[in-house]
A = this chain, B = another copy of it.
Amino acid sequence: MKRTERIIALTEILLSRPNELLPLGFFADRFDTAKSTISEDLVTIKESLRLTGKGQLETVPGAAGGVKFFPVIPKEEAQSFLQKLAINLSAAERMLPGGFLYMADLLYDPSVVRPLGLIFASIFRAKNPEAVVTVETKGIPLALMTADSLGIPAVVVRHGNKVTEGSSVSINYVSGSSKRIQTMTLARRALGTGKRVLIIDDFIKAGGTAKGIMSLMQEFNAEVVGLGILMEDAIWNTSRLVDDYLALLQFAEADPSTGKTIVKANIL
């Protein structure tokens, strides 16, 4: 393998294993070359990443050391992505009866949720979360892609108890907008105790669900280090049950009679 070919292969490995500490010996063995050569290759990759702003390469020295990659999305790229997404979401045909906004197609499209996960990861990485928590169903892809970019596991809270998940903790919570009492459940073994968690969800209206997850996290002695929401309902003009969250978009206007919908991108 020529040097540039090896560097491409090295780049592929780093990109596909974010947040994993990879010893230089691992690369030296795989590419049958000296560690010092790998070190030089990494300097080149680091410089390229510095120039494009697409990620960081962290070198850990010593015998137990190695290299760790974190993907990053440059701020302007993130902002322009959100802007385009907001325009797409403002299309009249997305309005559903009852003033709801259809967004499931985008929430399950990897080409949309992958950059969104990367945006959340870039924002919350500094808080050092150990797990990304969400509640089924529509928040799962966002949470998974955020967890993927952070290189940590996702944890999915369920509605109701599941025989396939073993003993679990359930809490009741009041949905802030419909005032209905609901139950959410998390398997005991899904999350250790005392973890730093980042909560990710697709939508916030009154904040009942977010507050529910936060109460559930207390049962696991978890520390909530961040709350990232794709879209906040800015039409909802009553106070929310949680206010310390970061939303990427806002649902600013909806007129069911004309189908006119306005979604805005928040400034990062």
Contact = CB atoms under 8 A, between A and B. Distances in A.
A153 B109 contact: yes
Secondary structure of the A contact surface, majority rule: helix
A53 to B, nearest CB: 10
A20 B98 contact: no
B51 A148 contact: no
B144 A110 contact: yes
B136 A44 contact: no
A51 to B, nearest CB: 6
A98 B141 contact: no
Given A8-B8, A54-B12, A164 B104 contact: yes
Contacts of A51: 1, 5, 9
Contacts of A113: 144
Contacts of A15: 11-12, 15-16
B44 A164 contact: no
A119 interface: no
Contacts of A12: 11, 15, 52, 54-55
Contacts of A195: none
- The 4 residue pairs across chains A and B that have the minimum distance between CB atoms: A110-B148, A8-B48, A5-B48, A108-B154
